[in-house]
Structure 1
Amino acid sequence: MHYSVLMPFVPRRPEQILTYAALVEWTAAHRLWQGQSVLVEPFQGFASVAGAGFRVPTGLGVTLMPLRHPYEAVNQIKTLAMSTGETVVAGFGPGPRAFQEMLLGAPYRSQLTAVREYLTIVRGLLGNELVDVKGEYYSCRAQMPSAMSPQVDLGLGVLRPGMARLAGEIADVAITWLTPAAYLEELLCPAMRQGAESAGRAVPRLTAIVPVALARPDRDVTDFVLASNTMHMRAPHYIDMLAKAGIDISGLEMPEAARLLAEKEVFVYGDVDQVIDQFQKYRRAGVDEIVLNMTGVCNLYGAKEALNDLKTLLVALGQGVEGTSWTKS
């Protein structure tokens, strides 16, 4: 199982990404990830970092479809791969229904149909095919110029079984956020296998972006859950996903809901050995890559403390070398 790093804050200047790119460059961390941002846009931020000399594998987890047409998305993906000279996982998702309505005037009537159309166009363009799709939500009749570039894997943000089945049909990587290990094993992975079998293709890789913090005497796990996931715990699609995982927070006030998420190990917390033990549950569930999400640490204690916790965990996981001089394994 690979371990990767998530940018634990939304950068306001590209140079703020450099430290985390260096961490990936000089350890065995697998990839540098960033979620959608409307400040320093991830495609531009990562390309800027490559121009500064840190050329690392990158992951977009996830880019929101309403922001750009699939043709523009592929242009951005290819630019990033060619700029970094490294592989890219280009993850996409429809975003919340309220976000869709804000940009498009109305939410997608069918989330799965919109995603299928979008990713079908993106995959065809990435493969230099002449794409001819006239869909309900996305249409394209075009072909991208052929160019040599590192591998691009097509990712799909997955929370619930319907999207997991679709990922099995059309994606290279399923990307999850705030999903308990048992839920992945019992619901999402079987749905992905069903989708892959129906399409006659291999099951996609599974990447889990996992919120984590190391225990300290002055720390409280509830504070970390609130600092990193309050917005998600209020979103209907996350509330529904957690309910499917047997964690009903719909009638709970926020501190109580946060304590329940911690109790159910949705947020990974403890000393180094306890954290590693919890990570093994994700491995047994079928996860191929864990992305270390230190957002809560960063929000409460700052970027330096988040970086220190990342270094400590990477060393413990065998992904780095103790001290300030890290080397690739």
Structure 2
Amino acid sequence: MSTYSVLVPFAPPRPEQILPFAALTQWSGAHRLWQGQALASDPHQTFAYAAASGFRVPVGTGVTLMPFRHPYDAALHMQTLAVTMGHSVVAGFGPGAAALQRNLLGAPYASQLGAVRDYLTIVRELLEKGSVAYRGEHFSCRSELPMMPRPPIETGVGVLRPGMARLAGEVADVAITWLTPAPYLREVVVPALREGAAAAGRPVPRLVAIVPLALSGPGRDAAELALAGNAGHLSMPHYRDMLRRSGIDTDPADPGRGARALVEGRAFLFGETAELAARLGEFQDAGVDDVVLNVTGVWARYGSRAALSELETVLGAVA
């Protein structure tokens, strides 16, 4: 049975703006509060602010980008966050786009999969054993992280394509997807996760799907909302490739057509409450363990009050 969680649908420029979403998570049937990588605010800091304000809930980063910090610093942040929240943490990481790597590091990683393997190995060793002695092609670390009593921390990796899914099966506790249709998860991602886990002789990682959606209603246009929440993703080569593999054709020169394709291919869900609940059930049937409700398009078009109302309505139907 899948759990249902909530994504903070924007990058809070002020930490207090996360509080209504933390409160919804604490007081509803939501399993966990998620925040993606943001440039306006760091998710570790906004989560800590929520805890200090009285909203201590399970949280997840889906995902923070590896070029921004060394894996030792990432492990330290996650341990501190788990102690601060008093609840379990999913520490999700991803390499980011090649352009971001070039801009921050001077060049892209020579191997995306190799960089992720190095990074997660270091983070996991530090969090599970308190020490690491690892030399990789992209990241190396020989150090200790003082262990302390804390809730569990699961290491996760952002997954879009089968190569990263197989790697997640080998080295991660959680695979985190974004904008991935349910049939693609069932037919491509889940088999690759199982293949990687079998090769490494370890359990299959839990699967988290961050699913963009919106309720239908007067004056609402599905493609407009899909574009409002996903315009950036439609311009990124690795997202376009994943969508192509799932049967959704997009063109960065025509984002409107791409947004319509997201709706038609059910990468973006749109409909009445009962219809959305049925479509979300398809993710459970595909093998998803935690379905994260993503109303970034609603927030961008109508603001926080509408986004909170949308989340409350959908949670009431599924959680």
Normalised by the size of structure 1, how large is the TM-score? 0.95
- Verify the 8 A CA contact 2:25 2:33 in the aligned structure 1: yes
Structure 1 residues 312 and 113: alpha-carbon distance in aligned structure 2, compared to 1, 3 A threshold: same
Rounded to whole Å, the distance in 1 between the matches of 2:33 and 2:54 is: 15
CA deviations over 1:187-222 (Å, ceiling 9, x no partner): 110000000000011100100000010000210101
Q: Number of matched residues?
A: 318
Query: How do 1:1-329 and structure 2 match up within 5 A?
Result: 1-250=2-251, 253-317=254-318, 319=319
- Verify the 8 A CA contact 2:130 2:146 in the aligned structure 1: no
Moved over 6 A (4+): none
Deviation for aligned residue 1:251? 7.4
Equivalent residue letter for 2:176: I
Rounded to whole Å, the distance in 1 between the matches of 2:252 and 2:85 is: 46
252-261 or 303-312, which moves further after superposition? 252-261
- Verify the 8 A CA contact 2:234 2:252 in the aligned structure 1: no
- Verify the 8 A CA contact 1:261 1:267 in the aligned structure 2: yes
CA deviations over 1:244-265 (Å, ceiling 9, x no partner): 1121224762211111111111
CA deviations over 1:153-179 (Å, ceiling 9, x no partner): 111000000000000011111000000
Cα-Cα RMSD? 1.0
Equivalent residue letter for 1:2: T
CA deviations over 1:39-95 (Å, ceiling 9, x no partner): 220001101110111100000000100000011101100110001101000000000
Rounded to whole Å, the distance in 2 between the matches of 1:142 and 1:289 is: 33
Equivalent residue letter for 1:157: G
Rounded to whole Å, the distance in 2 between the matches of 1:130 and 1:256 is: 50
Equivalent residue letter for 2:197: A
Q: Helix, strand or coil: the match of 1:127?
A: helix
Deviation for aligned residue 1:128? 2.7
Unaligned 5+ residue runs, structure 2?
A: none
Rounded to whole Å, the distance in 2 between the matches of 1:25 and 1:179 is: 27
Q: Helix, strand or coil: the match of 2:21?
A: helix
Rounded to whole Å, the distance in 1 between the matches of 2:298 and 2:238 is: 25
Equivalent residue letter for 2:265: K
Rounded to whole Å, the distance in 2 between the matches of 1:257 and 1:38 is: 25
Rounded to whole Å, the distance in 1 between the matches of 2:208 and 2:64 is: 15
Rounded to whole Å, the distance in 2 between the matches of 1:48 and 1:251 is: 37
Deviation for aligned residue 1:288? 0.6
Normalised by the size of structure 2, how large is the TM-score? 0.98
Q: Helix, strand or coil: the match of 1:136?
A: coil
Equivalent residue letter for 1:83: T
Deviation for aligned residue 1:119? 0.3
Equivalent residue letter for 1:200: G
Rounded to whole Å, the distance in 2 between the matches of 1:121 and 1:10 is: 28
Rounded to whole Å, the distance in 2 between the matches of 1:48 and 1:108 is: 33
CA deviations over 1:249-282 (Å, ceiling 9, x no partner): 2476221111111111110110001101111111
Rounded to whole Å, the distance in 2 between the matches of 1:173 and 1:236 is: 23
Equivalent residue letter for 1:23: L
- Verify the 8 A CA contact 2:251 2:257 in the aligned structure 1: no
- Verify the 8 A CA contact 2:50 2:56 in the aligned structure 1: yes
- Verify the 8 A CA contact 1:128 1:145 in the aligned structure 2: no
Rounded to whole Å, the distance in 1 between the matches of 2:281 and 2:27 is: 24
Rounded to whole Å, the distance in 2 between the matches of 1:64 and 1:121 is: 15
- Verify the 8 A CA contact 1:178 1:267 in the aligned structure 2: yes
Q: Helix, strand or coil: the match of 2:249?
A: coil
Rounded to whole Å, the distance in 1 between the matches of 2:39 and 2:229 is: 18
CA deviations over 1:112-136 (Å, ceiling 9, x no partner): 0000000000000001343111111
Equivalent residue letter for 2:93: F
Equivalent residue letter for 1:260: A
Unaligned 5+ residue runs, structure 1?
A: 320-329
